[in-house]
Amino acid sequence: MLEKYMTENAVRVFALLNLGGENIIASWYSSMILLIASGAAILCFSTDNNYYTEARTRLLNFGWLGFSLIFALLSFDEAGSFHENIGDSAVFSMFGHEAGWILFIILIGLVAVYMAGFVLIRVRSVPAALAPALVGILLFASNPIQEEIEINAMQAISADEIWQRPTWLLVAEEGSEIFGSWCLILSMLVYAAKGSSRLTRSDALSTPGISLNFVLSGRPAIVAIGLGLCLLGGLLTAVLLFAGPPEENAGIPENWFTSALAFVAAGLSLYLATRNKRYKWGYLSLCIFCLGLSVMYGTNIYHTFISLLSIRFGTAIMTITFVVLCALTVFVWKAAHHPFTRAGITGWALLFALTIWFSNPYTAEWGFISLSLLVLSLAGAITQTKSGEEIETPIAPKIYAAA
Q: What is the pLDDT of residues 197-214, one digit of tens each?
A: 665 444 343 333 455 555
Same domain, 175 and 277: no
Whether residue 210 is contained in a domain is answered as: no
Share of the chain above pLDDT 70, in %: 63
- 85 has a pLDDT exceeding 90: no
Confidence of residue 218 (pLDDT cuts 50, 70, 90): low
Q: Are 68 and 51 in contact (CB under 8 A)?
A: no
The average pLDDT across 120-130 equals 89
Same domain, 121 and 227: no
Of residues 312 and 63, the one with the higher pLDDT is 63
Same domain, 130 and 248: no
Helix (H) / strand (E) element for 394: namely strand 391-395
Q: Residue 189 and residue 196: Cα distance in Å, rounded?
A: 10
Strand partners, 393: 214
- The greatest distance separating any two alpha carbons of the chain, rounded to the nearest whole angstrom, comes to 73
Same domain, 195 and 260: no
**Range(s) of the domain holding residue 331:** 220-395
**Total domains, the chain:** 2
Same domain, 139 and 17: yes
Same domain, 245 and 388: yes
Confidence of residue 5 (pLDDT cuts 50, 70, 90): very low
Of residues 288 and 392, the one with the higher pLDDT is 288
Q: Where among 136, 167, 199 does a domain terminate?
A: 199
Strand partners, 212: 395
- 31 contact partners, CB below 8 Å, separation of at least 6: 75, 76, 78, 79, 256, 259, 260, 298
The average pLDDT across 218-246 equals 79
Q: Are 383 and 222 in contact (CB under 8 A)?
A: yes
pTM to 2 decimal places: 0.78
Q: Are 180 and 141 in contact (CB under 8 A)?
A: no
How far is the CA of 278 from the CAs of 275, 289, 334, 338, 397, in angstroms?
9, 19, 11, 17, 20
- 18 has a pLDDT exceeding 60: no
Same domain, 281 and 380: yes
Q: Are 39 and 181 in contact (CB under 8 A)?
A: no
How far is the CA of 169 from the CAs of 84, 307, 389, in angstroms?
16, 37, 53
Same domain, 171 and 264: no
Same domain, 76 and 135: yes
Average pLDDT, the chain: 74
Phi/psi of residue 59, nearest 5 degrees: -60, -35
Same domain, 180 and 302: no
Q: Are 200 and 211 in contact (CB under 8 A)?
A: yes
- 10 has a pLDDT exceeding 50: no
Confidence of residue 43 (pLDDT cuts 50, 70, 90): confident
Dihedral sign for Cα atoms in the order 402, 183, 274, 200: positive
Q: Is 33 exposed, middle or buried (0-12, 13-18, 19+ CB in 10 A)?
A: buried
Q: Residue 92 and residue 83: Cα distance in Å, rounded?
A: 12
The average pLDDT across 241-247 equals 65
Whether residue 215 is contained in a domain is answered as: no
Whether residue 287 is contained in a domain is answered as: yes
Q: Which of 189, 221, 207 is nearest to 123 (CA)?
A: 189
Q: Is 51 exposed, middle or buried (0-12, 13-18, 19+ CB in 10 A)?
A: middle
Same domain, 193 and 228: no
Of residues 368 and 250, the one with the higher pLDDT is 368
Q: Is 94 exposed, middle or buried (0-12, 13-18, 19+ CB in 10 A)?
A: exposed
Confidence of residue 399 (pLDDT cuts 50, 70, 90): very low
- Most confident among 9-23, 31-45, 162-176, 376-390 (mean pLDDT): 31-45
Helix (H) / strand (E) element for 61: namely helix 55-61
Q: Residue 71 and residue 33: Cα distance in Å, rounded?
A: 9
The average pLDDT across 13-23 equals 55
- 178 has a pLDDT exceeding 80: yes
The average pLDDT across 324-332 equals 82
Q: What pLDDT score does 132 carry? A: 93
